């Protein structure tokens, strides 16, 4: 949130605080553990609010901390209106919100409307009640095919591997786009939407500033649940062409978002961002229409390789998707579902150098930035041993896909050996590597050259310098493997060099560089801000 003297009229509206905010994603299990069980929790987050304020972020996004058997580490919710004892209780949540607000940090939380846990009382009741019951109608139960009903109702795969259907003892099947412990809700059932409205109000009344909507492109299912055409290539990963995949991005989903928006509009100054893995720009734009979500996560930067052309294309798509709409673009390099960007860009010193460069690019762009906890420390993914892996993807893929645990290892705070001040317990839910001794927050705070100091400096400039004003940017001509753009309002220039050799620096006063400059040359794997 920029200082008022630099504000443009539309940003000066305090209720739209999120329009240029830097959010910090707290993966609750891995941030800070207050009670010595080796798992992060709400009081742990509270104990580190000073750090977050010092870092210079504006808002937090907390991953699910609700009652859950943790089959998908909290994305399987058994009670959306209570805190799992592993993470604390409602009183701990209230303390966290109050203290975060004292530190000028907004608090946003995850919502999981596509599915519940199989331990949710609704699903348990559905199992007991049997075929054709009102209890089953809250989920997606169907009879199977074949002579004895043993063939799943359609050919949909689960995102975590294996079929998207599981058979229950009375012979029916239920749909789960993710793990079998995450049955999909039936969004044609009015009780389902009424319950989500109740959950929204429950947390809004407790003072949350907004929500991140899980699988925001998933809730509506197409009429008749048609098969995926076996001749079509769905494509790898979650950001694929949804027009050939009937599981996601069905038009009915927009009614759900209109309902969510209506409830949030009763509470001025609150917002919602959707997890929208939708590739087509026009289809993406539908999620952020004026009566739907305030923001949509655009994952183009996550998908781009470290190459100026590919990064520029990602930026142009992300800007283009929201052009003409009254919503800013969003920028993300890492989150709890993808390989950390230090590792994606090559790992080691090169990966870290490129990560710094991309951080400057991301923070130079107009709009909203989402940081993932630990990226400010330059954490790479951890290559965990087989015995440590816990992601359901590892199990469901029959140990062929290692899953997302590598980016979820608990943060190193201080000291020379694990658990690095994360916990009082000697072991943590995922083991930390000894090499992280050099990456602790403590060791980086006083080092002006550290990744942490670099993030603090960049965030401070982004917040306070008028060069960052304005919503539009223009591209300059640049040598192959490079780009340079200028923020039209404030005049900030950001140049990136991925060419493999040095290139002449554009004219201007250097505000911040991601690495050492070479006279008037911009070295490769480096970005610079000029004013």
Catalytic residue IDs: 214, 266
Q: Using CB under 6 A, pick the residue from 17, 75, 156, 174 that binds ligand NOJ.
A: 75
CB of 190 to ligand NOJ, least distance (A): 23
Indicate the helix (H) or strand (E) that contains 23: strand 22-26
Q: How far is the CB of 520 from ligand NOJ (least distance, A)?
A: 44
Nearer to ligand NOJ, 46 or 279 (CB): 279
Smaller CB separation from ligand NOJ, 70 or 319: 70
Backbone angles phi, psi at 474, to 5 degrees: -125, 150
Nearer to ligand NOJ, 68 or 343 (CB): 68
List of long-range contacts for 100-104, beta carbons under 8 Å, 24+ apart:
100/46, 100/49, 100/60, 101/207, 103/49, 103/50, 103/52, 103/53, 104/53, 104/58
Cα distance between residue 110 and residue 68, in whole Å: 13
Cα separations in angstroms, 369 against 20, 65, 110, 312, 522: 8, 23, 17, 17, 25
Two tokens, residue 56: 């210079």
> Which residue of 72, 303, 375, 381 would you call a contact of ligand NOJ, by CB under 6 A?
72
- Whichever of 184 and 471 has its CB closer to ligand NOJ, that residue is 184
Binding to ligand NOJ by CB under 6 A, coded x per residue (else -) over 214-253, reads xx--------------------------------------
CB 474 to ligand NOJ: min, Å: 34
* 348 vs 354: CA distance, rounded Å: 10
Out of 24, 178, 345, 422, point to the residue binding ligand NOJ (CB under 6 A). Answer: 178
Give the sheet arrangement for strand 141-142, strand by strand.
Answer: 141-142, 173-175, 165-167
Residue at shortest CB range from ligand NOJ: 75
Contacts of 273 (CB under 8 A, 6+ apart): 61, 108, 210, 211, 212, 213, 293, 294, 295, 296, 297, 330, 368
Q: From residue 469 to residue 508, what is the string marking binding to ligand NOJ with x (rule CB under 6 A)?
A: ----------------------------------------
Shortest distance in whole angstroms from residue 217 CB to ligand NOJ = 11
Binding track, positions 365-404, relative to ligand NOJ; x by CB under 6 A: ----------------------------------------
Nearest approach in angstroms of CB 275 to ligand NOJ is: 6
- Residues numbered 273-292 forming contacts with ligand NOJ, rule: CB under 6 A: 275
In angstroms, what is the minimal distance from the CB of 186 to ligand NOJ?
Answer: 17
| Residues in 326-355 at the binding interface with ligand NOJ, rule: CB under 6 A | 336-337
Residue 33 C-beta: closest distance to ligand NOJ, Å: 20
Tracing tokens 């998933």 back to the chain, one arrives at 218
Size of the site for ligand NOJ (CB under 6 A): 9
Contact predicate 99/46, CB 8 Å: yes
Nearest to 436 by CA among 469, 464, 465, 411: 411
Query: Six-digit token pair at 48?
Result: 């580190």
Closest to ligand NOJ by CB, 238 vs 364, is 238
Interstrand relation of 173-175 and 165-167 (parallel, antiparallel or unpaired)? antiparallel
Listing DSSP states for 359-386 in one string gives: HHHHHHSSSEEEEETTGGGTPPP----G
- CB nearer to ligand NOJ: pick between 336 and 344: 336
Strands 165-167 and 493-497: unpaired
Which residue in 21, 86, 112, 213 binds ligand NOJ (CB under 6 A)?
112
Is 299 one of the binding residues for ligand NOJ (CB under 6 A)?
Answer: no
If the CB atoms of residues 215 and 441 are measured against ligand NOJ, the closer one turns out to be 215
Question: What per-residue string of b and e applies to 143-155 under the rule 16 or more CB within 10 Å gives b?
Answer: eeeeeebeebbbe
Q: Where are the beta strands (DSSP E) in 42-140?
A: 59-62, 66-67, 79-83, 106-111
Q: How far is the CB of 114 from ligand NOJ (least distance, A)?
A: 7
Structure tokens at 84: 């799992």
Binding site for ligand NOJ (CB under 6 A): 72, 75, 112, 178, 214-215, 275, 336-337
């Amino acid at each position: 949130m920029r200082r008022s003297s630099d504000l443009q009229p539309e940003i000066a509206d305090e209720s739209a605080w999120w329009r240029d905010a830097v959010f910090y994603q707290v993966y609750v299990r891995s941030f800070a553990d207050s009670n010595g069980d080796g798992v992060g929790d709400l009081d742990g987050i509270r104990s580190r609010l000073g750090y977050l304020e010092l870092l210079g972020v504006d808002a937090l996004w907390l991953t699910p901390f609700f009652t859950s058997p943790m089959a998908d580490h909290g994305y399987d919710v058994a009670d959306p209106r209570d805190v799992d004892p592993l993470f604390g209780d409602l009183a701990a949540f209230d303390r966290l919100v109050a203290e975060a607000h004292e530190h000028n940090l907004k608090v946003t939380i995850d919502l999981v409307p596509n599915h519940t846990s199989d331990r949710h009382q609704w699903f348990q009741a559905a199992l007991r009640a049997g075929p054709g019951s009102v209890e089953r109608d809250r989920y997606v139960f169907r009879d199977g095919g074949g002579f004895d009903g043993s063939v799943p109702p359609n050919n949909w795969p689960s995102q975590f591997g294996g079929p998207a259907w599981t058979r229950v003892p009375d012979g029916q099947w239920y749909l789960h786009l993710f793990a079998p412990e995450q049955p999909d809700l039936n969004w044609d059932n009015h009780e389902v939407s009424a319950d989500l409205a109740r959950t929204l109000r429950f947390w809004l009344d407790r003072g949350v500033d907004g929500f991140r909507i899980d699988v925001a492109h998933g809730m509506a299912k197409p009429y008749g649940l048609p098969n995926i055409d076996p001749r079509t290539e769905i494509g790898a990963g979650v950001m694929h062409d949804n027009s050939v995949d009937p599981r996601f991005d069905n038009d009915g989903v927009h009614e759900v978002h209109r309902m969510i928006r209506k409830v949030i509009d009763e509470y001025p100054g609150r917002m919602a961002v959707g997890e929208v893995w939708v590739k087509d720009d026009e289809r993406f734009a539908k999620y952020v229409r004026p009566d739907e979500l305030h923001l949509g996560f655009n994952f183009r930067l996550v998908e781009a390789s470290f190459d100026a052309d590919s990064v520029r294309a990602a930026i142009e798509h992300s800007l283009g998707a929201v052009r003409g709409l009254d919503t800013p673009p969003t920028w993300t390099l890492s989150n709890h579902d993808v390989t950390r960007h230090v590792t994606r860009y090559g790992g080691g010193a090169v990966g870290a150098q490129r990560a710094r460069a991309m951080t400057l690019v991301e923070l130079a762009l107009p709009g909203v930035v989402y940081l993932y906890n630990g990226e400010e420390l330059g954490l790479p993914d951890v290559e965990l041993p087989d015995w440590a892996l816990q992601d359901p993807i590892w199990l469901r893929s029959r140990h062929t896909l290692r899953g997302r645990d590598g980016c979820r290892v608990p943060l190193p705070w201080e000291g020379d050996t694990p658990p690095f001040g994360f916990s009082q317990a000697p072991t943590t839910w995922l083991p930390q590597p000894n090499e992280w001794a050099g990456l602790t927050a403590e060791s980086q705070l006083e080092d002006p050259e550290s990744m942490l100091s670099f993030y603090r400096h960049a965030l401070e400039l982004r917040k306070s310098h008028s060069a960052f004003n304005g919503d539009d940017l223009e591209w300059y001509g640049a040598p192959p493997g490079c780009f340079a753009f200028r923020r039209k309002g404030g005049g900030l220039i950001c140049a990136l060099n991925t060419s493999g050799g040095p290139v002449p620096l554009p004219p201007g006063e250097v505000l911040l560089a991601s690495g050492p400059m070479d006279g008037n040359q911009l070295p490769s794997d480096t970005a610079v801000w000029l004013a």
